[in-house]
Structure 1
């Protein structure tokens, strides 16, 4: 992997800390599921991930973003454990196994650049007290089964199984997320990016800006306006 090109993509220096790499990634590489709705199948092959995210300057969802970020961190000398997580829905129910890919870095830090709206910086997986982050107040608690439950502002976000995994272990659920009517990724498009003062999101045809806690919504009128917004706010060119 061309580490220099990847670092240029996220605007980070080779000596950047995990703390700074994490935030740099979140502010430059969007969380997005656009390919699913363009009938373009997602590949977890490392070369394909690098081509999409670095060369073509696109984003992706958890398997893509955390999958490639793990390789960058390893190239920079970090130890990375890929772990499977199940995401809590709005109804409090857990999603399927391998629902989410997260990373435990250097034995203690939970790195996650592929969850959309989550922590700005890595969290400690051994600290059982509340961890304050620009993204909210996070708590990592151990369950009776030895799993790790991550809570944000008092609400469960996801449940981590700490057994080490390989990226290929997520292939079946990645396919499910792209194809199943039960997957929330097939129900509508989303593209979102952390900004210096908030977040910018396109959900369906609605442009959502959050600045210092204040939210505004603008309906994008027509496909041309939608394409222009993707290009302006995320650097994504989808063509005609």
Structure 2
């Protein structure tokens, strides 16, 4: 077993000798969501590196940090490949439901598409608190997980040919768009995502270069930490604590191991 496969399994708590059939991906995705946080700390601290397989292994699996979509889904893509899955990466555009428009940053979201028994599924480990936690078929079928309901809708547009829609548990009563993505332009070279990292780090409209953000799912909800607040969702009940810098560092270590 190579380094990436062994280290990834150790990070999320899967035995080295355990095979991973398609039916086990639900469990793997849940463990990943609870173990590896979505965070922008390297962007905020101006400590980014080139997006390469080696750098991602070092950042996420050796130093045990988290990352943004282009990092989290890239490392999971490599893990899927190592475990025999027919997988590619794809780019998409995030939809901002508050203003009902796609973000002007363009195709800065990265997601994963896998093919199993002639059916294509979307997998995402890098969408913050909006993770499906299961493979979502491109057929339009609704899947239900511990995080809500998710489906893929065929929709040809300038942003791609499909959209991910979701109703998050305890949060949404109606379907909302997560992002559009393009299944016709598969990506296998993660160096393409250096352009995304530059946009995320430098663009004035980027939501991830303003203040630190770190979030991960839990068994009963989610945790989200910024430089001035700590928000917990537990069984549908939200609590929010205002914090200072000392408390930020304390919570960062306590809940995210950073």
Q: What is the alpha-carbon distance in structure 2 between the residues aligned to residue 144 and residue 177 of structure 1?
A: 25
Quote the residue 2:255 is aligned against.
233
> Aligned equivalents of 1:40 and 1:130: distance in 2?
39
* Inter-partner Cα distance in structure 1 for 2:228 and 2:19: 39
CA contact (8 A) 2:25 2:135 kept: no
Tell me the SS of whatever aligns to 2:48: coil
TM-aligned CA deviation for residue 120 of structure 1: 4.1
Determine the structure 2 residue equivalent to 1:174. 197
Alpha-carbon contact 1:84-1:100 (below 8 Å) kept:
yes
Structure 2 residues without counterparts, runs of 5 or longer: 168-174
Distance change (3 Å), C-alpha of 1:129 and 1:36? same
Contact 1:23–1:120, Cα closer than 8 Å, also in 2:
no
Matching of residue 105 in structure 1 with residue 114 in structure 2: yes
Aligned to 1:127: 139
CA distance in 2, matches of 1:157, 1:60: 19
| Counterpart in the other structure of 1:71 | 78
What's the counterpart of residue 40 of structure 2?
33
* Among 135, 153, 161, the residue aligned to 1:141: 153
CA distance in 2, matches of 1:61, 1:46: 15
Matched, 1:217 2:217: no
SS at match of 2:254: helix
Instruction: Specify the alignment match of 1:156 in structure 2.
Output: 177
TM-score (norm 2): 0.86
CA distance in 2, matches of 1:194, 1:144: 31
Whether the aligned pair in 2 keeps the contact of 1:109 and 1:122 (CA below 8 Å) is no
Q: How far off its partner does 1:127 sit?
A: 2.8
Maintained 8 Å contact 1:197/1:212: yes
* Separation in 2, partners of 1:186, 1:143: 30
Determine if contact 2:132/2:150 at 8 Å carries over to the other structure.
Answer: no
What SS class does the counterpart of residue 147 from structure 1 fall into? strand
1:15 aligns to what?
19
Q: Pick closer, same or farther for the CA change 1:70–1:228 going to 2, 3 Å.
A: same
| Count of aligned positions | 235
Distance 1:38 1:15 in 2: 38
- 1:192-211 aligned at under 5 Å gives the runs 192-211=215-234
Q: Secondary structure at the match of 2:91?
A: strand
The 1-side partners of 2:11 and 2:203 are apart by: 32
**More displaced, 162-171 or 188-197?**
162-171
How far apart are the structure 2 equivalents of 1:225 and 1:148?
Answer: 42
